[in-house]
Amino acid sequence: MPIRATKIDFVSLHLIYLTGFDMSILVTSASGANGDGYGALLSFRLDGTLIGSFSDDPRIVDPRGMSVSPDRRYLYVNSGNDRILALDTNGTVMRDTGPVSGLNAGGGNLGPDGRYYIGLRSARTIAALPPSLDGAPKSVLPTGVVPYPRGFAFGADGKLFLASGIGPGGEGENNLVVFNPDGELLASRFITDNAVSPLDLTIGPNGNVLVSSEFPFGEPDAVCTVREYDSSNGSLVRVFRADPNISFHRPRGLRFGPEGHLFCVARDTVIAFDFVDGRCLGPIVDLPKLNGQAIAFFA
């Protein structure tokens, strides 16, 4: 895998200072028609240098969403061959659902009840599995609850925020939907933002909702941003933009790093933002054809 040299910048040095050298940046890279990328779970050092595949297990195929367990022992990964895996810090598969017909899982997050939640792109809903990955996924929202689910995350009070975006075939809407901890609908249209097409969603340390956006979705001249919304009323708080001289296209997965910076994976890169003042801190990873889908910090 070719990689352009990436010098250690302020963000990388800060990560290394706070976390030591054992932690890695993990990125799922789409493959084939889904992104023309590597179709692998890639590992990078904190200075952005590519290590290689985090795991060569053949069950990892065109991976998408992933999430680290609260005790940091397991990395849950959605594999494109309709199965969910849990890996240890050595990249060894420790848990496996086995093939689940028609799963087509997108994003993934550990919920406040300890279960692993997955977005089901074909069923247009969200399902959950026990952390042991035993048994079949159980839907927690109705089938077809949104035209095309993108990212989702849980607020501190248990509310579920779901990004309803545009699918590969152009179907969908640009919207956020909110449910209470029991799965009851609280808001069918949480935001009024005419310049957003959500691709992933996370919750900030201040409780607000962060969304990666490519608007209009799929267009060559799409404007790519990360947008912050007030979690109480859906109003737009601020917009994070990459510096004009930085390539920022097809933004997808969002995660906060251990030092509090906000990271967004995209085509060819991972971009960092200072969440406090909104500054773009630049690319921490620079890899042609990365086509990143999700990001995690794991050690």
Q: What is the pLDDT of residues 272-293, one digit of tens each?
A: 999 999 999 999 999 999 999 9
Q: From CA 138, how far away is CA 153, in angstroms rounded?
A: 17
**Prior bond to 216 cis, omega within 30?**
yes
State both tokens at 136: 């079949």
In the predicted model, is pLDDT for residue 16 greater than 50? no
| Phi and psi angles of residue 286, each rounded to the nearest 5 degrees, phi first | -135, 100
pLDDT digit string (tens) for 238-252? 999 999 999 999 999
Query: Residue 46: left (phi > 0), alpha (psi -120 to 50), or beta?
Result: alpha
Mean pLDDT for all residues in the chain: 92
Beta-bridged to residue 16, according to DSSP, are none
Q: Find the range with the poorest average confidence among 2-11, 98-107, 164-173.
A: 2-11
According to the model, what pLDDT value does residue 203 have? 98
pLDDT value of residue 37: 80
Q: How far is CA 75 from CA 46, 65, 72, 269, in A?
A: 18, 11, 8, 22
β partners of residue 254: 264
Q: How confident is the model at residue 1, as a pLDDT?
A: 39
pLDDT, position 299: 83
| Domains in the chain: ranges and CATH | 10-298 (2.130.10.10)
Rounded to whole angstroms, the Cα distance separating 207 from 271 reads 21
**In whole angstroms, what is the distance from residue 188 CA to residue 220 CA?**
30
Q: Which 3 state secondary structure label does DSSP give 136?
A: coil
What does the pLDDT look like over 151-209, one tens digit per residue?
A: 999 999 999 999 999 998 899 999 999 999 999 999 999 999 999 999 999 999 999 99
User: Among residues 7, 6, 53, which one has the least CA distance to residue 26?
Assistant: 53
Among 7, 88, 63, 135, CA closest to 292: 63
User: For residue 258, what pLDDT band results from cuts at 50, 70 and 90?
Assistant: confident
Q: Read off the pLDDT of each residue in 33-48 and give the average, rounded to a whole number.
A: 84
Percent residues over pLDDT 70 in the chain: 91
Lowest mean pLDDT among 13-27, 36-50, 202-216: 13-27
